[in-house]
């Protein structure tokens, strides 16, 4: 990876802007959105302070180099990833490394198979949202609205599905860490992505269907359905050779429900904003794995049917 070539970040949404704002202070980055905008990112940090971070922002359609990027970070939703990459691909050298930030486990295996260069995947617990599309925090009406709110700092694990690009994953993680993010390379990214999918598969669809905050899922009314889903997910994880967390799936997922009790899940935010959800990236791989292993999993099948696409 060329050390001083720019990194492109595709998708100027919550996570794209957060990564761009963090990296711009240490690394040459270009944030590519659907439309051009001013060269600054207004970021609200987890401590509530507002910052204006200078950052190069261009429209994906118009970007034309001139230099080849050292890395392309794909920060769109899963269902937009392929279209966004296709729009850019003819302007990239075929060996350009990708870093995928998506939740779920749909785009990652597909692009690993289809893209000619290295494909790194990230599993991140950073939490960010765009204020116009979400709430959960009250905005001060007297201050200019930030472009992105960094709700909680987390950690980012980076690896590739075949463990063929460990050096590259390490280098990218070091760059993120230099920029102040908590990041590390790992050799079990597949397991980490599936585990995060397990959490999201319980929390996102139920909160979106019932339009409730995460904490509601711990209530008596939801307990039987949550338990049935976790039991089926545990079954699939075992079939997929994903080791269970030390505390067991129930406690692992229950702890996240408690820790994020006041949050609106990203899928609920999408439903409230009339946007497509990441249902197919999160529940689709569970359905596919169930078919592949010949498992009959009615709770997941019902959930898939009820979840808005």
Q: Which residues are catalytic?
A: 196
Where residue 211 falls (left for φ over 0; alpha for ψ -120 to 50; beta otherwise) is left
80 touches ligand NAP by CB under 6 A: yes
Q: 43, 60, 72, 201: which one contacts ligand NAP (CB under 6 A)?
A: 60
Sheet of strand 50-54, all strands in order from the earlier edge strand to the far edge:
50-54, 40-44, 148-152, 127-129
Q: Please give the residues from 205 up to 234 whose contact with ligand NAP meets the rule CB under 6 A.
A: none
The Cα 7–Cα 202 span in angstroms is 34
198 touches ligand NAP by CB under 6 A: no
For ligand NAP, which is the closer residue by CB, 130 or 235?
Answer: 130
For ligand NAP, which is the closer residue by CB, 202 or 235?
Answer: 202
For ligand NAP, which is the closer residue by CB, 27 or 76?
Answer: 76
Angle between helices 189-210 and 298-306 (to 10 degrees): 60
191 touches ligand NAP by CB under 6 A: no
Please work out the total of residues on this chain that contact ligand NAP, with binding judged by CB under 6 A: 29
Contacts of 228-232 with CB under 8 Å at 24 or more apart are: 228/299, 229/201, 229/202, 229/299, 229/300, 229/303, 230/198, 230/202, 231/299, 232/290, 232/295, 232/297, 232/298, 232/299, 232/300
Q: Which helix (H) or strand (E) holds 172?
A: helix 166-178
User: For ligand NAP, which stretch binds (CB under 6 A), given 6-14, 39-47, 242-250, 251-259?
Assistant: 6-14
Task: With CA atoms as reference, report the closest residue to 133 among 68, 77, 171.
Answer: 77
33 touches ligand NAP by CB under 6 A: yes
85 touches ligand NAP by CB under 6 A: no
14 touches ligand NAP by CB under 6 A: yes
For ligand NAP, which is the closer residue by CB, 26 or 34?
Answer: 34
Tell me the closest approach of the beta carbon of residue 181 to ligand NAP, in angstroms. 13
Q: Which residue is nearest to ligand NAP (CB)?
A: 13
Q: Which helix (H) or strand (E) holds 31?
A: strand 29-33
For ligand NAP, which is the closer residue by CB, 77 or 165?
Answer: 77
26 touches ligand NAP by CB under 6 A: no
What binding mask, one character per residue, do residues 94-133 give for ligand NAP by CB under 6 A, x or -? -------xxx--------------------x-xxxxx---
Q: Between the CA atoms of 182, 188, 193 and 197, what dihedral angle is there, to the nearest 10 degrees? A: -120
């Amino acid at each position: 990876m060329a050390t001083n070539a720019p990194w492109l970040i595709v998708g100027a949404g919550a996570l794209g802007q957060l990564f761009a704002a963090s990296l711009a202070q240490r690394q040459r980055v270009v944030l590519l959105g659907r439309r051009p905008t001013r060269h600054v990112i207004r970021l609200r940090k987890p401590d509530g302070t507002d910052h204006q971070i200078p950052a190069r922002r261009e429209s994906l359609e118009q970007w034309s180099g001139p230099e080849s990027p050292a890395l392309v970070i794909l920060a769109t939703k899963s269902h937009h990833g392929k279209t966004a990459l296709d729009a850019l691909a003819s302007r990239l050298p075929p060996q350009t490394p990708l870093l995928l930030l998506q939740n779920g486990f749909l785009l990652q295996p597909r692009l690993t198979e289809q893209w000619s260069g290295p494909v790194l995947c990230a599993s991140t617990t950073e939490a960010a949202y765009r204020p116009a599309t979400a709430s959960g925090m009250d905005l001060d009406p007297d201050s200019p609205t930030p472009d992105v709110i960094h709700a909680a700092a987390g950690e980012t694990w980076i690896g590739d599905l075949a463990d063929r690009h460990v050096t590259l994953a390490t280098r990218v993680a070091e760059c993120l860490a230099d920029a102040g993010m908590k990041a590390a390379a790992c050799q079990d990214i597949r397991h980490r992505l599936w585990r995060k999918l397990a959490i999201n598969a319980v929390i996102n669809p139920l909160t979106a269907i019932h339009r409730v905050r995460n904490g509601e899922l711990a209530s008596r009314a939801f307990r039987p359905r949550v338990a049935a889903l976790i039991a089926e997910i545990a079954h699939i994880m075992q079939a997929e050779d994903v080791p269970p967390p030390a505390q067991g799936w129930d406690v692992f997922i229950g702890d996240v429900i408690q820790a994020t009790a006041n949050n609106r899940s990203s899928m609920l935010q999408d439903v409230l904003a009339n946007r497509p959800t990441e249902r197919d990236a999160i529940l689709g791989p569970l359905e596919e794995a169930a078919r592949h292993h010949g498992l009959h999993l009615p709770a997941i099948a019902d959930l898939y049917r009820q979840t808005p696409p």
